[in-house]
Each structure stands twice: as structure tokens, then as C-alpha cells.
A and B are shown apart, each in its own frame.
Chain A
Amino acid sequence: MQATPEFAELRSRLRRFVFPMSAAFMLWYLAYVLLASYAPEFMGIPVLGNINVGIVVGLLQFVTTFAITGLYVRYADAQLDPVAESIRTRMEGS
């Protein structure tokens, strides 16, 4: 089964999404941590009243986490589940 084109397609669809996405959020998180350690003055620039760049960038980490979660669920529902489902029923049904 591992050698079939259908399975190869499933694997490549999974990897095509999760690897770049993982790299992206890790880089964004590390950039944030580095900014916090090495550029506190930048993080301290006021944006709105007492809310500064640091608070805004920190909250943006929350926003991107929620967004990536949503994107992955949509991708998995549309691109991964149907293929996995069809392979599984074929293997278990026979």
C-alpha cells in the first residue's frame, strides 16, 4: 500500500502543508523571542496609550496561532481526510 500513487499523494499533501507551516511558525516565534531579548527598546515603543509594540507583537503570536490552527483544519478536511478515508476503507473493507 505504501508504494501506491494514492498513498504517495496523501503523504506529499501532508508534508507539503505541515513542513513549511512548522518552519514558518517556528521562525516567527524565534524572531519574537530574539526581539524580546535583544531589542527591548523597539518593543517599548508606544502604539496606543500604554500599549506598546511588545504587547502588540505578543498578541499577534496568539492571532497567528489561531489562524494556523484554522488553516490546517480546513486543509485537512478538504485535502487529507478524503484520501485517507478512501485508502482506509479499501484496506479494511477487503
Chain B
Amino acid sequence: MSLLAQEVPAADQIGNPVLNITVFAAFVLVTLVVVLRVGRTNRTASDYYAAGRSFTGPQNGVAIAGDYLSAASFLGIAGAIAVTGYDGFLYSIGFLVAWLVALLLVAELLRNTGRFTMGDVLSFRMRQRPVRAAAATSTLVVSFFYLLAQMAGAGALIALLLQIPNSDTLGQGIVIAVVGVLMIVYVLVGGMKGTTWVQIIKAGLLLVGAATLTTWVLGRYAFDLSALLGDAVEANPSMQTSSGAVKELGERLLIPGLKYGASDLAKIDFLSLGLALVLGTAGLPHILMRFYTVPNAKEARRSVVWAIWLIGIFYLFSLVLGYGAAALVPGGAQRISTAPGGTNSAAPLLAYQLGGEVLLGIISAIAFATILAVVAGLTITASASFAHDVYANVLKRGAVAPDAEVRVARRTALLVGVVAVGAGILARNQNVAFLVALAFAVAASANLPTILYSLFWKRFSTTGALCSIYGGLGISVALIVLSPAVSGSPTAMVPSLDFAVFPLANPGLVSIPASFLLGFLGTLLGRKDEHAAARHAEMEVRALTGAGSEKAAAPETTPLPRVMV
């Protein structure tokens, strides 16, 4: 079996780079036209940050799916299922169930209490400057981790599709820079409205592409899932890992434990990951910000419902794609894990196997568009948080003209783009799903406890919020740095050093409860906020009824009746 790797040519070149670039260029052209058209109506801060609150629930729901179904979902999960079987499927379930937290506890209340950012919600009844600074800090950190993951995905795709090997840092760097420039253009020209349309177009393409591949794979097995699974088992009796050991696959592809079940520690690590996935979604800043693009709480609810259906269906597709890649790609899991781009190459390799160069070109372009759109969404969130929370409210204490604020947001977007390109070049060979899981752990630790306390706990105070944000953020980042993911193992980011004193790759199991506890203790021990009771009463009424919340700023595109204020 160890010969398998050598049977495939070392470079494993497939597809036609010219065709791949052409299909991708067509997507860029179409989206640029759309962004230019809608970008002309960007005037106020509300336009730039929240698209004038003019999107309907279903539109925003598709855009949320676009924002959420990142490269990690499309490439990472399919790849994880192809190589580690059932354990890859576990990722997708966590990603989906997480939406219930957003639907039941967060989306509507958040829409009613905030304007543009998470900092708005927290500062409603707390001391503005410290909580905004804290919220912006955690937003920027989470966005950075997520950006890193997307850019790593871009590197993997480039390696596979444009046949630029990982060793060619300059070549990959140029392509990543092109991605960065395009995304900056989307954000600067289109603002939130343009970015949202890019998400909608991309989500449509992604769902259609995944549906096509899924139907194609299932068609090969006369729509018998059991036969597909059987073939995946038969085609992959074992594989050789990067360290040279031979791992038994076969039947084990269909049961949990291939990746996580080896030891007691690995089981606890998996629990930790599961917790981070399910609690992270409702704390992701770029997802939270999407709730502000709709005119009211009911539309926010409708958007989450649409998002849940689309995301759920997509993950069902990815189950078929993952096992399909294991069964149909010649060389199976072994070839996928050693191909350029590693496990992320499963879906593109499957597309090539089924439909040749043309289908590969289309699927790759969709994957590329996915990265581009998600990165644009992250950039606008990071820039909004900096300009609105840090610049306008912390540094200038609220005394700033809205257009000056938007100007700062645009400059920040430029800076974020440059940082993303740099980080992307450094993080090229990491598994994207894993990097995203880290972003989820930070979001679940720093943001979610604070948001939930702030919406549901009357006594919660500024001190409590600062404890839960900085505490959750500090603990989760520190544990990641000290984890085997960063050092001390052959697959770590810095394999040559070993300072991994924390045994789990994912910090969620420790950092999430710690953040809840810190928020609780900080509130009990810290001093009370002034006028806390009155501000809480006002916030609660607004959160539940929407009375006094920000309305749609562009009534001409919103067919909904406006309430007289």
C-alpha cells in the first residue's frame, strides 16, 4: 500500500490552469459590475456598515449562508470526511446545530439593540469606552484567525489549480495578493451592500455546484447511499500517514474515532472542539453584523431560518462529496492527503474525476469565489468595528462626523487587506477546518458569554463584561499558543520547537466555562454601573419589542411599512 503514493506522479498535475483562471475571471467580472452598480448608493454610515438595512430576510439568509459556508465548509469538511471518515462529518454537525443558538438566543435581540457592531449592544447599558474597546479587540482577533484560515485555503487552492507548488512562495504570494486586492475593491467600492450581493451570488453558485456534484456522485450509485459508503470502505483499506506509519481505514471510515478516538486525551480534545463549534457561531463578529442589514427583528429571524436550511442542506451534500471523493478519486484517501493542497483538495479532485477539466475549473472557481467573498465579509466587519467602536467612540468620544467615520473604516479595510495577504502567505499549508475551529474557540470564549449575559442577565456590569471578554480572549489565545497545534508535534505550525504545555489542540473546554465564570465573578465583585436598572429596563424593552431600534434607512427599496417614531 505504501507504493500508492509513488504511483501518482509527484506533482499530481490535473486540470488546465488557463481554464480555471478564465472561469474565475468571469465570476470576478460579474461581481465587480454588481458591486459598482450598488456601490453608487453608498452614502451614509448606515449604508456602508449595514447596507441601509434594506435587505429582506431571505436575501440576508442566503448572504449569511454565503458568509458561513467558507472554504472550511466546502474544501475542509469534504476533505476531512474523505481522509478521516466519520470524524469529518462531526465537524459539519457542530457547525449546523450552532445556528440554533443564534436563532433562539441571539439574532433578534441583537438586531433590536445594536446598530452596527457587537460593541453597540454591550455599550447600551454599560460604560461606553471600555466595553467598546474590549468588543473591538475581540472582534479583530477573531476576524484575524478566520482570515488566516481563509487565506490558508486560498494557498491550498492555488497549489492545486494553478499548479504553483507550495515551494514557490513568490508565485503563490502573487496570487494571494491578487485575492487581497480584489477583496479590498469589493469592500471599498461596494460597502456592506456590495459585499452582501457578492455573498448572495457566491452562495447560489456554491449550492448549485455542490448539488450538481452530489447528484453526480449519487447517480453513480443509483442513489444508494449505502453502496457509496461501501465503495469508500473498499477503496481505502489503509493509508500511510505523513510520519510513515500505516493507518487502517476500511470499515473505520464509517465509525467515529479515526481522527479523535485514539486516546483519552483525543476524546477530550474532541469534546472541546464540539463545544467550541456549537457556541462559536453566535459569537462570530462577521455573522453578528449580518443581522443589522435587515429592517427589523422578524426579518432577522427569517434570515436565520433561511440560513439554517441552506447550510443544513449544504452539509448533507458535503457528506456525499467527502465519501464520494474517498470512493471515486483513484488512489482514494491516500492520494487526497498527499496531493498539493492536502486534504483540502478532495472536492476539486472529485470534480476532475467526474467531469474533467471543465467541471474542475467551475468547482475551483466557486471555491475561489468562496474565499474571496468570505474574506471581504471579514474585512468589512473588522473595519467597521475599528472605525465605529475604537475610532469614533473610544478615541473621539462620539464626536465625529459619520463620513469621517466611514473614511476611517475604508482605510482600516485597506490595512486589514494588507495584513490578510501577509498572514495568508505565512499560513498556506494549515488545514482550513482546523484553523476555523480555532477562530470558533476564540469567538465562543470571548464573545458569546458576554453577549448572552448582556441580553439576559440584569445585574451584568461593565466590570463583568471586561472580565468575560478579555478573560475569554486571553485564556483561549494563550492556550492555543501553548497547545500541540502550535509546537511540539510533527504537524504543528512550528514543529522545530516544543513549548506545548497544554495538552488539547482546541481550548474551548477550558476557556468557554472560564469566560462565563469570569463574567459572573466580575459582575459580583466589581462596582455597579450608574443608572444600571433604568438602562437595563430600556434595553430589555427594545430587545424584545424593537421599539426605538434603528429602522431601515432606504425606504424606497424596502417594501415594508415604516413605523412612525
Contacts and interface: CB of A to CB of B under 8 A. Distances in A.
A50 B278 contact: no
Interface in B411-467: none
User: Which one of A10, A21, A55 has the greatest number of beta carbons of chain B within 10 Å?
Assistant: A55
Nearest to A2: B537
Nearest to B109: A14
Given A84-B544, A88-B547, A91-B548, A61 B260 contact: no
A54 B308 contact: no
User: Which one of A25, A30, A33 has the greatest number of beta carbons of chain B within 10 Å?
Assistant: A33
B396 to A, nearest CB: 31
A32 B484 CA distance: 26
Contacts, number: 150
Contacts of A58: 86, 89-90, 93
B100 A91 contact: no
Contacts of B478: none
Contacts of A51: 225-226, 229
B233 to A, nearest CB: 7
Interface in A4-54: 7, 10-11, 14, 17-18, 21-22, 25-26, 29-30, 32-34, 36-38, 40-41, 43-44, 48-52, 54
A30 B274 contact: yes
Interface residues of B, number: 54
Contact of B256 (A2, A50, A54, A84): A54
A55 B305 CA distance: 24
B308 A66 contact: yes
Contacts of B86: 36, 43, 54-55, 58
Nearest to A52: B254
Contact of A81 (B251, B298, B548): B298
A21 B99 CA distance: 13
Nearest to B233: A50
Given A2-B540, A22-B105, A58-B89, A37 B267 contact: yes
Interface stretch (B132-140, B187-195, B309-317): B309-317
Contacts of B525: none
A48 B226 contact: yes
Given A54-B86, A66-B308, A76-B301, A33 B104 contact: no
A11 B309 contact: no
B100 A22 contact: yes
B245 interface: no
B18 interface: no
B233 A38 contact: no
**Contact residues on A (Cβ < 8 Å of other chain), bracket:** 35 or more
A47 B389 CA distance: 54
B514 interface: no
Nearest to B274: A33
Interface string B243-280: 00000000100111100110000010011001000100
Contacts of B492: none
Interface in A55-94: 55, 58-59, 61-62, 65-66, 68-69, 72-73, 76, 81, 84-85, 87-89, 91-93
Interface in B10-42: none
B contact patch SS? helix
B541 interface: yes
Contacts of B271: 33-34, 37
A contact patch SS? helix
A73 B305 contact: yes
Given A25-B97, A52-B254, A54-B255, A73 B301 contact: yes
B230 A50 contact: yes
A28 B433 CA distance: 23
Given A73-B305, A76-B301, A40 B96 contact: no
Given A2-B537, A22-B105, A43-B256, A61 B544 contact: no
B102 to A, nearest CB: 11
Interface in B137-186: none
B317 to A, nearest CB: 12
Contacts of B260: 37
A49 B230 contact: yes
Contact of B255 (A11, A52, A62): A52
Nearest to B551: A92
B390 interface: no
Nearest to A17: B104
A57 to B, nearest CB: 10
A33 B547 contact: no
A49 B232 CA distance: 13
A42 B520 CA distance: 39
Contacts of A55: 86, 89, 229, 254
Nearest to A49: B226
A71 B305 CA distance: 11
Contacts of B565: 92
A29 B278 contact: yes
B564 interface: yes
A8 to B, nearest CB: 11
B547 A91 contact: yes
Interface in B87-115: 89-90, 93-94, 96-97, 99-101, 103-105
Given A29-B94, A58-B90, 18 more contacts: A7-B544, A11-B540, A18-B104, A22-B104, A26-B278, A36-B257, A48-B226, A50-B229, A50-B233, A54-B255, A55-B254, A61-B96, A68-B104, A76-B301, A84-B297, A84-B546, A91-B545, A91-B547
Lowest 3 A-B CB distances belong to which pairs? A49-B226, A2-B537, A36-B256
8 contacts: A22-B100, A32-B93, A33-B94, A43-B86, A43-B256, A62-B96, A65-B99, A88-B546
